[in-house]
Chain A
Amino acid sequence: MSETLPADGLLGWSWLLIALPLAGAAVLLLGGRRTDRWGHLLGAATVATAFVLAVLCTVQLAGQDGAPADVELFTFIATGELDVTAGLLFDPLSAVFALLITGVGSLIHVYSIGYMAHDPGRRRFFAYLNLFVAAMLLLVLGNSFVALYVGWEGVGLASYLLIAFWYTRPGAATAAKKAFIMNRVGDVGLALAIFIMFAQLGTTSYAGVFGTVGTLAGGTITAIGLLLLLGACGKSGQFPLQAWLPDAMEGPTPVSALIHAATMVTAGVYLIARSAPIYDLTPTARAVVLAVGALTLLIGAIAGCAYDDIKKVLAYSTVSQIGYMFLAVGLGPAGYVAGLAHLLAHGFFKAGLFLGAGSVMHAMRDSVDMRRFGALWNKLPITFATFGLGYLALIGFPFLSGYFTKDAIIEAALDRDDVWGWVLGGVAVLGAGLTAFYMTRLMLMTFFGRARWEEGVHPHEAPPVMTAPMVVLAVGSVASGALLVSVFPLSGWLEPVFGEPAEAEHVVAPAVIGLVVTLVMLLGVLAAWLFVGRREVPVAAPVRVSPVTRAARNALYADAVNESLFMRPGQWLTRALVWVDNRGVDGAVNGLAAGLGGSSSRLGRAQTGFVRTYALGMLGGAVVVAGALLAVTSG
């Protein structure tokens, strides 16, 4: 890591990046109905301003050759050995993310003005979106793991609020809760990693931790790496915590685009890339990252092939694509840049695809069932064009963005030059084929074939306020790959963070990889055409299907496993404990009280009320006392 400079100039104001959207959220939430009329404009304006600021900051950063700037704000928590300063770190890595978040964020804010135009809760929606942008920027700009954790849970909250935006739907409410709780499982990992850092190194700031992590024992570093990975899996919807992400599609579509495709779910990749100095020291943890990435890549792609819900297919596609990114960053120094390039390109095309899906839903009266779509290409020409470009970028059509970034990952995997390199590369190529299959299936079912619309649906193109962001994102999807790989190479920009990119000896020539991947991709497209395009798509999903299809439709039974392994036993345990507490613990106490009361009333029976009984008692007592006295004095 290169020398940190004190922040001066505009960088000293980079805290405004977070403060602006946060202030927007506060105004909208506290202002109440008064802000209904202009609230959405304020929301979009704060994020757009933040984007301009991020661009200016990045320009200044480029001017000082990427030397990171540290912005100290105030003392957050300082007691004993612990000293957490609230501060920001603006370096090339966080700059990339800040640009992505504010850039895509601005577009999606603009899109939402149109998408949510008729929703009575539009102001609340923009407030939550602003809150999300603020929390996400804190996540990527914070200069310590604690700041990251604050942002980390902050985006979790925003995600919860936005998934549950239409909270009167039980499905949305449940999905929001599920997302928050599965994220919390990951958060525990992140928290424990921070505890270990503090216990072993006495600091939680990036500078402090990365500077001294080398002094730790290998096992400890591996533990930190694995715990961070658990956190990353939770946030990024990776195996085994992937099940919440598809359910999160209950939220409004712009949310799916911004949070559950372009930005928040990539936080896990950010975390691993940011913690590169830790992962560089622990091949074991890196191997686990690789395994998680490869496995999730396949799970997501397989599940994506079977769903009929357009948003869920895209969601599983996101799961799968983030698997690629994990795979890349798990490769270590060779893969960081490739992973991040894919992340950025994915931010463009997946956001564009989701916005396109939103436009389709808009036209189809909020239906998400692809079996009731079809033949929309001439009804929604702009949507079709932008969606189509996003589709081509995603499946890796030559010279669009996905082609460059995905190939880079496969190259990096093969460059390991061992058996695992071939396995991972093979998985990645297989994933590319599956991606082509499910995305082509989606395209065919949505835009081509016969119109299978429900009664009374009259598709119409979305207003310009919605299509404009889609066009911008489509341009980004087409161009970002080439830009990031050759025109403004990301590897050069990130050099201050990850060091000089090593000139690897390519095991397989990049051209060959490109050719193979393209061929596999074309095979996937062909298969989809054979299965879906040639035949009539039934309006109802066929019931009698192969076990493979059934498994895929159930997302390889992830929910079933979670339910039978955690939820049911948990409910059972809870009920049992309530019983134990009421009957056992409290019962013991009440039993003691009842026992005391009972014995006292039983003893009370001795009070017969007959004077002579008492007299006898007195006499007996006197005799005993006298006897005792005699025994003592004489004995």
Chain B
Amino acid sequence: MSDFPWLLAMIAVPAIGAAVVAALPRERALLAKQVALGVSLVVLLLAVLTTLAFDAGGPRFQLTTSVPWIPDFGSDFALGVDGIALVMVLLIGVLVPLVVAASWHEADGGPRPVRVFFAWLLLLEAMMVGVFVATDLLLFYVFFEAMLVPMYFLIGSFGGPRRQYAAVKFFVYSLVGGLVMLASVIGVYVVSAGVLGEGTFAFDTLTRLDIDPDVQRLLFLGFFIAFAIKAPLVPLHTWLPDSGAEAPVGGAVLLVGVLDKVGTFGFIRYCLPLFPDASRFYAPFVLVLAVVGILYAALLAMGQSDMKRLVSYTSISHFGFIALGIFAFTTEAGTGAVLYMVNHGLATGLLFLVVGMLIARGGSRRIADYGGVAAKAPLLAGAFLVAGLASLALPGTGSFVSEFLVLIGSFPERPVFTVLATLGIILAALYVLLMYQRTMHGPARGVLLQEDPAEPLPGAGGGGATATATLPAPQRSLRVADLGRREIAVVAPLVALILVLGVYPQPLIDLIEPAVVATLDDMGAASGGTDR
């Protein structure tokens, strides 16, 4: 069973699925959706089986597959997972089917064929899996850049009114980061050629390389800038609120839930072990960015009037916590940071989905257009509250465990930064509860009272939600109906996962911890080498 190329299958299945979906005739929209859902469920199954085949106590990289790819550069098509990559792959496996189900009517009636949306979604899944399981630096870079393409089209073709602006901004930001990283990738290759006589991109070999500290500092910056744009750390964050707000809800979930995690994943997988001295050298600087990000983005979130932008800003704040955990260099904080990536994916994913459902009903992204929704849609309000509470890291939700680990693990090493970061939990309560109160509580307001429903934003309410001039009274109330069966099927698994991980997170911690310990060991070993 362990001989089966699980990881290759997880890239190939959605990629082939994307091709199949794209090849379907235009009028078979329903079939396209069903195929997409089926394929994403197969990937979920593969991810679960992969987890079962993975031995937490075994060697660091498992289920490896490697075929020569570009022998002239010493680059292999090498795949493998450690605990960190594995939990991210699991997260992808869980999120994509839910996103497919949540986006069921997203592209209906729009100018572009439905199948295109789902084809891009599946291709995105393939690329995201690839970026996490690649163990070859060049291959990682290729997936890193290739991932942009489907996301660019998802935002640019299926997004909100300012989708073009957002898509271009997203693409340019990411591309700039990617190019700087490419320079560093080549730099690492050249250095490895100098040390070993023959250049290599193999991650395992590169971590054992002794790189001169001054060179490290330069190369580190290339990687760091790329990852800091992707994860977004303040001040490289301004693309995220635009992309998050304009992207279709499903795209936003994957963008913030998974795609941005490549940045933090890159910190822990590449920056720390490849450039241990530089990581230590730059750590105070990164921590300042992280803590400033936590507080600054949380304050900004409070000032937003657009729900999707608000959620995007909360994510920037959370990425600050993850960066804090990674650059504290302790097992507890590192494990917490990786766990945070998973929990944040679930929590913010749920928050985006629920906000999307609300927007689909009201046709507006503005908080001020809502009020008293809880009375009309209690299930929606309940899901919103769970997502919000997970976002503010209430005990009992998975986010609490990860935030707690990050903070308690960072405190012994970096007390001042940790104390400042801890203040962020007050702000988190503020932005979540303010949004919840304004939309869900209070008397009925905004869209609940409108005689003539405003024209839904193109794309936001699903192009199909056409608003006729005046609806008779009973139909008007239908506009804010409670969750339907499909929506419950989307929300329930996420709520369940958030609660289960809040009470019993230890299985995930057991998966993650060895990889984090190995990363920190790599740092220690490599720096010892240069001291000699």
Interface residues of A (CB under 8 A from B): 29, 74-82, 146, 149-150, 153-154, 157, 160, 164, 167-170, 172-174, 176-177, 180-181, 184-185, 187-188, 191-192, 194-196, 198-199, 570, 573-575, 577-578, 581, 585-586, 589, 593
Contact = CB atoms under 8 A, between A and B. Distances in A.
B493 to A, nearest CB: 14
A194 B332 CA distance: 15
Nearest to B444: A168
**What DSSP secondary structure best describes chain B's contact surface?**
helix
Contact of B509 (A77, A177, A578): A77
A154 B395 contact: yes
B316 to A, nearest CB: 10
Contacts of B11: none
B504 A74 contact: yes
Given A173-B442, A195-B408, A581-B238, A82 B332 contact: yes
Contacts of A593: 172
A172 B444 CA distance: 15
Interface string B429-443: 110011001001111
Contacts of A170: 441-443
A477 to B, nearest CB: 34
B441 A198 contact: no
A177 B434 contact: yes
Contacts of B31: none
Interface string B413-457: 001001100110110011001100100111110000000000000
Interface string B194-212: 0000000000000000000
Contact of B401 (A74, A77, A80): A77
Given A79-B513, A80-B332, A196-B411, A578 B505 contact: no
Nearest to A150: B395
Nearest to A173: B441
Contact of B389 (A76, A157, A181): A157
B412 interface: yes
Given A77-B506, A180-B429, A153 B235 contact: no
A521 to B, nearest CB: 41
Contacts of B374: 167
Interface in B289-324: 296, 299-300, 302-304
A184 B425 contact: yes
A191 B505 contact: no
A164 B318 CA distance: 27
A589 B506 CA distance: 43
A146 B408 CA distance: 11
A77 B172 contact: no
Contacts of A78: 506, 509
B394 A82 contact: no
Contact of A195 (B418, B426, B433, B512): B418
B330 A80 contact: yes
Contacts, number: 137
A181 B375 contact: no
Contacts of B299: 570, 573-574, 577
Contacts of B442: 167-170, 173
A495 B407 CA distance: 36
A77 B441 contact: no
Contacts of A81: 331-332
A373 to B, nearest CB: 28
A164 B509 contact: no
Contacts of A173: 437, 441-442
A167 B423 CA distance: 28
A149 B336 CA distance: 18
B315 to A, nearest CB: 15
B141 interface: no
A129 B428 CA distance: 25
Contact of B375 (A168, A191, A578, A581): A168
B4 to A, nearest CB: 31
B504 A181 contact: no
A194 B400 CA distance: 14
B411 A188 contact: no
Contacts of B418: 195
A552 B436 CA distance: 33
B335 interface: yes
A593 B234 CA distance: 19
Contacts of B512: 79
A195 B407 contact: yes
A184 B430 CA distance: 10
Nearest to A156: B394
Interface in B324-339: 330-332, 335-336
A185 B422 CA distance: 10
A578 B303 contact: yes
Given A80-B332, A82-B405, A586 B433 contact: no
Among A74, A574, A575, A589, the most chain B Cβ lie within 10 Å of the Cβ of: A574
B422 A191 contact: yes
Cβ-closest 9 pairs across A and B: A80-B331, A173-B441, A578-B303, A150-B395, A199-B412, A586-B238, A195-B411, A574-B303, A167-B441
A364 B437 CA distance: 30
A195 B418 CA distance: 9
B509 A188 contact: no
B409 interface: yes
22 contacts: A77-B506, A80-B335, A82-B332, A153-B400, A167-B374, A167-B375, A170-B441, A173-B437, A177-B433, A181-B433, A184-B429, A187-B425, A191-B425, A198-B408, A199-B415, A570-B299, A574-B300, A574-B302, A574-B303, A581-B296, A585-B235, A589-B169
A565 to B, nearest CB: 15
Given A153-B395, A157-B394, A570-B299, 6 more contacts: A79-B332, A82-B332, A150-B395, A154-B395, A167-B372, A172-B441
B120 to A, nearest CB: 25
Contacts of B419: 192
B404 interface: yes
B110 interface: no
Contact of A198 (B335, B412, B504): B412
B5 interface: no
Given A195-B407, A593-B172, A184 B505 contact: no
A578 B394 contact: no
Nearest to B239: A589
Among B296, B299, B336, B408, the most chain A Cβ lie within 10 Å of the Cβ of: B408
Contact of A154 (B332, B375, B396, B422): B396
Contacts of A198: 408, 411-412
A164 to B, nearest CB: 6
Given A192-B419, A585-B235, A80 B409 contact: yes
B300 A581 contact: yes
Contacts of A79: 331-332, 335-336, 405, 509, 512-513
A167 B419 CA distance: 34
Nearest to B385: A161
Given A77-B506, A199-B412, A185 B401 contact: no
Among A170, A173, A593, the most chain B Cβ lie within 10 Å of the Cβ of: A173
Contacts of A80: 330-332, 335, 409, 513
A589 B238 contact: yes
A78 B335 CA distance: 10
A180 B407 CA distance: 21
A122 to B, nearest CB: 14
A168 B407 contact: no
Nearest to A160: B433
A352 to B, nearest CB: 31
Contacts of B302: 574
B483 to A, nearest CB: 12
Among B172, B374, B509, the most chain A Cβ lie within 10 Å of the Cβ of: B509
A48 B57 CA distance: 46
Contacts of B415: 199
Contacts of A586: 238
Contacts of B375: 167-168
Contacts of A177: 433-434, 437
A189 to B, nearest CB: 9
A149 B395 contact: yes
